[in-house]
Structure 1
């Protein structure tokens, strides 16, 4: 038996078999291609989409129809390289960008590869994810980590990329005054990214006092506790504008409900921008005509593109510190996998739940 065969037989992964049914079982990797690397996964964070798959076996139109390895926020150590690999070496500590685009369609050729219709994305059905001992991944989607950036921070490049891409799309600049809806992981990394892009003022709105206190500790210039009444947009708009003290140039909705998007459109100044980041609802009823009459631009994002080098640089230079977002850590055992996903699904005090493999 070769070493490769032995590794493949003993490689284990967390398989999603049904609603709230995760089992650690063998995972036989595809062969290592000439442009691929084999990575021993060392750190992996649980994303909101992972929780949706765990609880519902679907996220929007992405439906789990057969057993699937879960997870995509990951970093690890290279164990083997393909024959053509030049930029990576065995032993390198790396962060992995989880989506493999076709690289041949017009979207890919134009640089918007995150919108590729043939995208194969870790842990998004039908593609297996990376909560495993080892995975095989293309060399060009693996990024070496500096010595002062930990593997956990490397895994956090994935959610941070969402915030960085959102700030790029909305063109956050040093004179931008920013509002963020949602003090969950994505809202918080969007806040960190907005500050790193130089935004002069960033406030966060949420319904939860604990998460708002975390946002304040992480550098929010102000926080607003909004109502749980889904119809109450006027009072929330007034609270937000009073807290901001200035007109809001850019709003990021990191929740994605009718109410949050409606309030964002109402609170943002004429000629400003609202960026929809969270996908809480597949359809919304929002005051779009009134916003259009004030020339409020509505933009959206889907995942990210070309963000890993910048994220790693922001972490390396200390312009962004994601370590405080990691609130819970678990091992890669059957018991801990179940506990970790239950903890993440409950929310509460959990921000980012991280596996140490």
Structure 2
């Protein structure tokens, strides 16, 4: 193995969530490379996800429960500081984005090209596996992707949610010249708008209840916006279609909210034979207009994280500048104020909040390598 220097790397500072919702800073051991294909990454920036906040506030997501101290964070970029002897394509000093879920690569899901469904997945910040709000993080080299030279380490944190959007849009099928409704104008919803347009959708309508978020949507691919009102889902669907001139309904609906009213509205707003993709998670059991699904022969699909090719496609969209990330990061926090970042996301302030890693150079984080 090679390293930046022969002398030992400094202690691995970590931001740790304890059962019950308390945070502490801890000094942990620097990870060793378990394989000659592993790399060690100095984490420079980490974007906060709604799941991180949910673990903090509620202590669980479904069957995943915070029963022991855990490091959160899974949307991270950084710099390679150590490489295993068999690592190819990466070198010390490379700026990379981390894909935070490590599959087994041997089960029938992995071998069938659906590794996101691997039952042995080690996903960062999902109990019992620690996440990336640390100084140093070990990862297999195949889960590290070089950043385009014009993309900063700060904006590189958005490649993980961009890959979620890519996977969701691929689940919907061909989008060329199609009309697409995107429910939710948070980070993933906005990126779904951007990817849908990059995939050739002729009409992309962003739907939300917050006017400021809808204003942002017009910068990231939406051709129209609609502010959901207090009327029934059926009436909101009628009003939305009338406002956008799509009386026959949308070809595709993507829901990034998990809210029952949005699911129902989206199904009512679909054309016959349309496709509905569930992107965001809300309550585990919802009431849906099954009659509409059957009457229209709607195809209802789930979407879970990302799979083979999604990260590479996301980076390709950035390389070609068909998708831009400028302005999506609205709040930046030093590592010492990590808990403030969690509070900021919980308050729904801005679009995306980023925490800089321990001892990170914020100037380094905000520029590309051009």
TM-score class, shorter-chain normalisation, is over 0.9
**Superimposed CA distance per residue, residues 74-125 of structure 1 (whole angstroms, 9 cap, x where no aligned partner):** 1100000012112211011111100000111100000100000110001111
- How far apart are residue 352 of structure 1 and its match? 0.5
Which stretch of the first structure deviates more once superposed, 83-92 or 28-37? 28-37
Aligned position for 2:322: 319
| In structure 2, C-alpha distance between the alignment counterparts of 1:329 and 1:196, rounded to whole Å | 28
| In structure 2, C-alpha distance between the alignment counterparts of 1:259 and 1:110, rounded to whole Å | 35
Q: 1:98 aligns with which of 97, 100, 117?
A: 100
Q: TM-score, normalised by structure 2?
A: 0.91
SS in 1 for 2:251: strand
Q: Which ranges of structure 1 fall in alignment gaps of 5 or more residues?
A: none
User: Is the contact made by 1:207 and 1:228 (CA closer than 8 Å) also made in structure 2?
Assistant: no
User: Is the contact made by 2:19 and 2:67 (CA closer than 8 Å) also made in structure 1?
Assistant: no
| In structure 2, C-alpha distance between the alignment counterparts of 1:154 and 1:46, rounded to whole Å | 13
- How far apart are residue 340 of structure 1 and its match? 0.7
SS in 1 for 2:193: helix
SS in 1 for 2:9: helix
| In structure 1, C-alpha distance between the alignment counterparts of 2:215 and 2:180, rounded to whole Å | 18
- How far apart are residue 6 of structure 1 and its match? 4.3
SS in 1 for 2:201: coil
User: Is the contact made by 2:164 and 2:188 (CA closer than 8 Å) also made in structure 1?
Assistant: yes
Q: Which ranges of structure 2 fall in alignment gaps of 5 or more residues?
A: 358-370
Residue 27 (structure 1) aligned with residue 44 (structure 2): no
| In structure 2, C-alpha distance between the alignment counterparts of 1:226 and 1:256, rounded to whole Å | 15
Q: List aligned pairs for 1:163-182, cutoff 5 A.
A: 163-182=165-184
Aligned position for 1:14: 15
Residue correspondences, number: 350
Runs (4 or more) in structure 1 with deviation over 6 Å come to 2-5
| In structure 2, C-alpha distance between the alignment counterparts of 1:128 and 1:194, rounded to whole Å | 33
Aligned position for 2:204: 202
Aligned position for 2:338: 337
Which stretch of the first structure deviates more once superposed, 217-226 or 201-210? 217-226
- How far apart are residue 219 of structure 1 and its match? 3.4
User: Is the contact made by 1:44 and 1:73 (CA closer than 8 Å) also made in structure 2?
Assistant: yes
**Superimposed CA distance per residue, residues 153-181 of structure 1 (whole angstroms, 9 cap, x where no aligned partner):** 22111000111001101014221100011
Q: 2:191 aligns with which of 189, 192, 198?
A: 189
- How far apart are residue 22 of structure 1 and its match? 1.8
